[in-house]
Amino acid sequence: MICRILREVRKYGGFLSKEGDKLRLEQSEPIPEPLKEQLRTHKKELLAVLAYEEEAKKRKWLVLPDGMGFEKRLSPSSAIYIFREDDGSYTVWRGTWGEQKQPYSEKTIIEGVDFKTAFDKANNYVQWFQKKG
């Protein structure tokens, strides 16, 4: 739901940001009233996703569009991801690619957890990977 709302806002040239406990909407086109209502209804969840994005950026994670998740490169051919699931939980996943489009090695590190747990687990994995290499 949150990813869909963020996609819809962007479709109308809008951008959401967090200012304390307020949701700030910048827009280049008018936002339809039903979408504004969804922003009001899901304000708490949207603020949480925006806070997660701020935290991830501080730790040098790439923020994926529309609240979908985060990416961090481990090597030129390997990356770790934190994905937001439809139910609001998070999954941490690692993939390694060669020349093919599909990863030749992949691993789900943890799934069905809150953002903090996923973010901590992912950052611990990054530290482990860097020490290993």
Q: Mind spelling out the 3-state secondary structure of 9-65?
A: HHHCCEEEEEECCEEEEEECCCCCHHHHHHHHHCHHHHHHHHHHHHHHHHCCCEECH
Rounded Cα distance between 112 and 68, Å, is 15
Could you tell me the pLDDT band of residue 113, with boundaries at 50, 70 and 90? very high
pLDDT higher than 80, residue 133: no
Return the minimum-mean-pLDDT range out of 48-57, 97-106, 109-118: 97-106
Question: Model confidence over 70-94: pLDDT tens digits?
Answer: 999 999 999 999 999 989 899 999 9
Could you tell me the pLDDT band of residue 104, with boundaries at 50, 70 and 90? confident
Q: Is 25 exposed, middle or buried (0-12, 13-18, 19+ CB in 10 A)?
A: middle
pLDDT higher than 80, residue 59: yes
Return the minimum-mean-pLDDT range out of 45-49, 97-101, 112-116: 97-101
pLDDT higher than 90, residue 3: no
Return the minimum-mean-pLDDT range out of 20-24, 34-38, 99-103: 99-103
Q: Mind spelling out the 3-state secondary structure of 73-128?
A: EEECCEEEEEEECCCCCEEEEEEECCCCCCCCEEEEEEEEECHHHHHHHHHHHHHH
Residue labelled with tokens 């860097």: 130
Instruction: Give the mean pLDDT of 62-71.
Output: 92
List strands edge to edge, sheet with 90-96.
62-63, 69-75, 78-84, 90-96, 105-113
pLDDT higher than 80, residue 48: yes
